[in-house]
Amino acid sequence: MMLEASDLIKDYPVRGSDATVHALAGVSLELAEGETLGIVGESGCGKSTLAKMLVRLEDPTSGTVRLDGVDLTALKGPALREARRRIQMVFQDPYSSLNPRKSVGSAIDEVLRVHRLGGDRAGRRVRVTELLGMVGLATEFAERLPHELSGGQRQRVGIARALAVEPRILILDEPVSALDVSVRAEVMNLLRELQDRLQLSYIFISHDVSMVRQISDRVAVMYLGRVVELGGWSDVLERPLHPYTEGLRAAVPLPDPTIAQPISATVRGEVPDTARPPSGCAFHPRCPAARAICADGVPVLEAVHPAHQVACFVAVEEGRLPAAAAVW
């Protein structure tokens, strides 16, 4: 595997309190070469925290991240900088991720200078033009400031900047959620084209099930800092085993307004406070299929079907969810 995250835990102390926010509670994932792994879940489930762990923008409380067998969490200085050339991140908000005082060309040129790529100033200028063309932007965009661009153009610049160091993996943290619907389609098509052209691997993070389904080979569903379901996109999104996954799918509007989602597919209530998570399965207070056992023990990921794992006592014991909770 190109990228392996093993039992990642991230705790944040609450300032002025003895409480601790448990952002990640033991996440393990793998990414193969050329694969797109989608990560989906509600806001606050730990998706963005996981992304920052994977590129070492933050260090885990415990656990490891391995890139081509090398433990990223143990690297420092020049060794970490070199490793970061192979794994880059595209952020959710394309405007705040760019320096408002730097032109587009300067922002990309800075990456090349820091990593000593592209040769002299003239060589870097040529490389900047190549990168802009790669994401569908004309040469004159190099002279523009971020506020002079549309949201879709800014995100294209963010993608170009990430590609400047010729990475093998892109971590895409909600890359289209801030864009208009029509622009989303354009950026999604661009991402697929770049993946085929450059042989990239993606981790695509989103709260939007339809976006994850569109681009992913495998899908990991996260809830309150844990992966609760993992498998191929068709298994997870077409034949979900976890009630939470079912609820996420039920939240996607259907093209036919005459078809109503069953009440059994509805997820009740709000995401619990990560500083005071529920006992047992963190989802059980909101789960339409919860049983007494769910409040006592914490389920772990187990294979119910080939290449399809779920952390759910009900699904593991019966091999499926109760019929009342599995109807679409």
Q: How confident is the model at residue 101 (pLDDT cuts 50, 70, 90)?
A: very high
C-alpha dihedral sign at 133, 196, 1, 243: positive
Pairwise pLDDT comparison (256 vs 163), residue with the higher score? 163
Give mean pLDDT, residues 212-232.
95
Give mean pLDDT, residues 92-104.
89
Average pLDDT score, the chain: 88
pLDDT at 322: 40
Lowest mean pLDDT among 139-143, 169-173, 259-263: 259-263
Distances (CA, A) of 221 to 39, 44, 46, 188, 253: 6, 13, 11, 20, 19
Q: How confident is the model at residue 273 (pLDDT cuts 50, 70, 90)?
A: confident
Q: How confident is the model at residue 36 (pLDDT cuts 50, 70, 90)?
A: very high
pLDDT at 220: 97
pLDDT at 312: 92
Give mean pLDDT, residues 205-230.
94
Give mean pLDDT, residues 33-40.
96
- The answer to whether residue 54 scores a pLDDT higher than 50 is yes
Contacts of 226 (CB under 8 A, 6+ apart): 25, 26, 27, 46, 282, 311
- The answer to whether residue 3 scores a pLDDT higher than 50 is yes
Q: How confident is the model at residue 277 (pLDDT cuts 50, 70, 90)?
A: confident
Distance separating alpha carbons of residues 267 and 263, to the nearest angstrom: 9
pLDDT at 164: 95
Tens digit of each residue's pLDDT (9 = 90 or more) over 105-153: 999 999 999 999 999 999 999 999 999 999 999 999 999 999 999 989 9
pLDDT at 291: 87
